[in-house]
Amino acid sequence: MKIATWNVNSLRARADRVEAWLQRSDCDVLAIQETKCKDENFPWELFERMGYEVAHFGLSQWNGVAIASRVGLTDVERTFPDQPTFGKAGKDPVQEARAIAATCGGVRIWSLYVPNGRSLDDEHMPYKIKWLENLKTHAQELVAVDPAAQVALMGDWNIAPLDEDVWDIDLFVNGGYTHVSPPEREAFHAFESAGYTDVVRPYTPGPGVYTYWDYTQLRFPKKEGMRIDFALASPALAARVTGASIDREERKGKGASDHAPVLVDLAD
């Protein structure tokens, strides 16, 4: 079975590319982030005509997560337990469409769009850290209850956990940028301490291997990217991984998302 994650940065704007990529990649399950649409204007037919069942969680023109599967899709869960809400000072907090889960081919897939901290002193940063802490608690409970549980935490984590995961770590650290701060990295590595494994990095090692390139300042042709899209697997699922890749080619050309798809191959 082949599973993948991809921040498409507006599904309706990239429907043709998503359809072509699914046909080309022969992917069985795709976790999607930043659909940027509500359920009522989600392009359901795009997936249905290719034999995929779809679960989507979208509340506005922002965020939005989905799972498309051709190996079954059951037990859909929108938001994880105790998923934090967010509201700016003086406004009512709201639940953002950032997490959806479904069981596909025996694997519990979570499609995750982790909040962006925006800046180190922005109110989004404590929201981001709490969001990750509560997700980790849930993920840890899944394997504590059932050590054989096959769980994939897939998506755009908005964190570069290692220095080699950004094109210029000095720029990020000295500039006080997000994605590389100690609290963010600690929150990411907490999942590893909870028993989850980054199953893509062993097959895509080294500096300069990225999943995201900003549209501005010619970041892609300059190879100035970041590795921020990950698939973390529970112990039982990690044991089934036979390969992984980052489809950098999909970042090329007109109308590309600023993220590349990340794929994981699983043994039967």
Q: Confirm or deny that 124 is annotated as ligand binding.
A: no
Q: Confirm or deny that 174 is annotated as ligand binding.
A: no
Alpha carbon of 21 to those of 26, 123, 188, 224, 247: distances in Å?
8, 37, 29, 24, 10
- Which residue in 113, 127, 210, 212 is the catalytic one? 113
Q: Confirm or deny that 56 is annotated as ligand binding.
A: no
Is 198 annotated in the active site? Answer: no
Q: Confirm or deny that 7 is annotated as ligand binding.
A: yes
Is 156 annotated in the active site? Answer: yes
- Which residue in 28, 156, 165, 229 is the catalytic one? 156
Q: Confirm or deny that 156 is annotated as ligand binding.
A: yes
Is 189 annotated in the active site? Answer: no
> What residues contact residue 238 under an 8 Å CB cut-off, 6+ apart?
196, 197, 199
Residue in the block written with tokens 């921040």: 7
Q: Confirm or deny that 158 is annotated as ligand binding.
A: yes
Catalytic residue annotation: 113, 156, 259
Binding site members for Mg(2+)? 7, 34, 156, 158, 258-259
Binding site members? 7, 34, 156, 158, 258-259
